Amino acid sequence: MAAQLPLSAKMRIIHRYLGFFLAGIMAVYAISGMVLIFRNTDFLKREVVSERVMQAGMAEEEVGKALGMRGFAVERTEGDVLYFPGGSYNAATGETVQTKKELPYVLDQMTHLHKANTKDPLYFFNLFFGASLLFFVISAFWMFMPCSRVMKKGLIFTGAGIVLTLILLFV
């Protein structure tokens, strides 16, 4: 009969293989998280001009709703043409020209994964990933013997990390 592995050995094995399994997605989350820090800038973004014809004669509010723009506001009107930040709408013809700044496709998809919410099927994946990271946090405390010098130093670093996080959150 095979000997039963102690809990610490089981935790190490699960920690190791789950870490290998999630290495790629951790890289995606790390990169997309760093890119999201710059979301209010034009860093890595390129200009994309789109032209389309919408219904003619729409009111300002309808134009904003049709374009899906939050906080839509007309800057000026010249004849039948409404100018708004990043574009224009010709009320007589319905022609709309809009300029947007977008991330390259791969980075855009990565940030979409990072920001998925309950309306997006990817949120199950995000929950799994979050639970896996929480497991990493907990299982890390089974990596070393409880009374070892490494564990004691590790607990000091853990405490320092918690204190720094609380300072950043509340100060």
**pLDDT of the residue at 142:** 86
**pLDDT of the residue at 17:** 93
**pLDDT of the residue at 31:** 94
Structure tokens belonging to residue 110: 């990565």
Flag whether the pTM goes above 0.75: no
* Cα–Cα–Cα angle for 83, 89, 90, rounded to 5 degrees: 115
**pLDDT of the residue at 145:** 87
Query: Each residue of 25-47: b (16+ CB within 10 Å) or e?
Result: eeebbeebeebeeeeeeeeebee
**pLDDT of the residue at 146:** 87
Q: What length does the chain have?
A: 171
Spans of the chain below 70 pLDDT: 1-2
- pLDDT of 55-104, one tens digit each? 999 998 899 999 988 889 999 999 999 999 999 999 999 999 999 999 99
Tell me the HSE value of 77 on the side-chain side, using a 13 A CA sphere.
8
**pLDDT of the residue at 102:** 94
**pLDDT of the residue at 79:** 93
In single-letter form, the type of residue at position 111 comes to T
Residue 88 · residue 52 · CB < 8 Å: no
**pLDDT of the residue at 2:** 60
**pLDDT of the residue at 1:** 52
Could you list the beta-strand ranges (E) of 60-147: 76-78, 81-84, 87-90, 95-102
Domain ranges of the chain: 7-41+105-141, 46-102
